[in-house]
Amino acid sequence: MFHDAKARLDSAAATLGVTAEVVERLRYPDETLCASLPIRLDDGSIRVLKGFRCRYNEVRGPTKGGIRFHPSVGIDEVMALAFWMTIKTAVVDLPFGGAKGGVAVDAKGLSPRELEGVARAYVRAFAEMIDEDRDIPAPDMYTGGIVIAWMTDEITALERRPMPAAITGKPRQLGGSLGRDTATGDGAFLCLERLADRLGLGQGASIAVQGFGNAARVFARRAAEAGYRVTAVSDSSGAAHDPGGLDLDALASHKNETGSVEGFAGALDRDALLTTECDLLVPAALGGVIDADLARKLRCKAILEIANGPVQPAADAVLEECRIDVVPDILANAGGVIVSYFEWVQNRTGDYWAAGTVAERLAERLRTSTDAVVERAERHACGLRQGAYLLALERLCAAIAAKGTQAFYNGGGAGDA
């Protein structure tokens, strides 16, 4: 995964003509730490879990990125996701670098008491990093709401002072921002609106969404309200399909009652959703789901990536050949980190914003960022993903150049791109 992430860096660096030493600087994380987290389970036994935190690059500011609890978590995945956060924060011009963390654990198999133990152990293990000016964690898979509340409580207890800006994605009562819970889906929809003409998506265009979790639900609702037809939705157990457009409220009720979207409408296999005919395909569940073979079978005009890394780099060229435009994850799902930044600002100033202010500022930042990505793509006659990488790389190079000798331990400030 990390190898794949760096392939896209190399390609953008070659287009921009970035010096080899800057590329070398960006090929390696600033620091990646592993820790053993001993947890006492409810049956009295001890389990030692593996925890990770990667601070990829802090040249543009304190590092920012979520913590995920998932059995697949490992050092390679954490470094790749931290690299992507470095690129993403640069694309949307936040004063942050990138980071990511995680614990290799099946959170669904833990009791609330055990889960709290993992959350607190994670913070104790990485407490030296966690700080509003150094490394600012946030939620990711299976670390929403209450997990972030436990983590915030733990760092506050360890440091013996309030530290609201050291972790974002907090519940509102602990200093969380209005609009954070819907920010990723809202942001993805704002990108769609800005790019609809370019992507050839008119009124009533059909959308297939892989996943029906937090981000996908918000996105699908906004899209349907704006007149798009959400014709297919899947989750981990199955799919629902209606060429006339699904009733999303009824679908959400069905999922709440039965645990899945399966059996709501139509007959569509879970994985067949990706190759179903639609105008816009929105992978909003897992990474790596579209490889080069599958890319050849897609029947959509465009892809909007809400999941992190749903398209494998080997599929990029196939999609270009098939003239399928891709709105990349580092732009399309950046709404979450943008509102996390707003939360950090509000915590530091003590000035809490109304929901409308958050929404306006999110929209403004995504408009500006989307236009900047399009401008790079047009200037270099490339796709939006490459345009986003070029924009990020320009900003990272400028920061490395501005740091001069500090960017390299023994001096020599490079960074001319």
Binding residues vs ligand NAD (CB under 6 A): 141, 184, 210-216, 234-236, 270, 284-286, 306-308, 333, 336
Radius of gyration of the chain (CA): 21
**Identity of the residue, 57 or 182, whose beta carbon is nearer to ligand NAD in the bound complex:** 182
Query: Contact 278/207 with Cβ under 8 angstroms?
Result: yes
Q: Among 104, 59, 96, 58, which residue's Cα sits nearest to residue 78?
A: 104
Cβ(208)–Cβ(219) below 8 Å: no
Q: Alpha-carbon distance 235 to 205, whole Å?
A: 22
In the block, residue with structure tokens 């407490």 = 127
**Smallest gap, in angstroms, from Cβ of residue 81 to ligand NAD?**
8
- Name the token pair of 133: 């000016």
- Shortest distance, CB of residue 281 to ligand NAD, whole angstroms? 12
Least separation in angstroms between residue 89's CB and ligand NAD is: 12
Which is closer to ligand NAD, CB of 142 or CB of 150?
A: 142
Report in angstroms how near the CB of residue 71 gets to ligand NAD at its nearest: 13
| Structure-token pair, residue 10 | 């190399």
d(CA 384, CA 377): 6
Task: Give the nearest residue (CB) to ligand NAD.
Answer: 213
Q: Please, which residues have CB within 8 angstroms of residue 41's CB and are 6 or more apart in sequence?
A: 47, 114
Q: How near is the Cβ of 129 to ligand NAD at its closest, in Å?
A: 21
Catalytic residue (one of 6, 64, 88, 100): 100
**Strands across the sheet containing 325-327:** 239-241, 229-234, 206-210, 280-283, 302-304, 325-327
Name beta bridge partners: 57.
Answer: 98
100 a catalytic residue: yes
In angstroms, give the least distance from the CB of 96 to ligand NAD.
14
Cβ proximity to ligand NAD: between 184 and 386 the closer is: 184
Measured from the CB atom, is 118 or 274 closer to ligand NAD?
274
Residues counted in the chain:
417
Distance CA 334, CA 84 (A): 11
* Closest to ligand NAD by CB, 285 or 407: 285
Cα angle 31, 37, 41 (rounded to 5 degrees) comes to: 160
By the 8 A CB rule, do 239 and 262 touch? Answer: yes
Nearer to ligand NAD, 211 or 415 (CB): 211
User: Catalytic site residues?
Assistant: 100
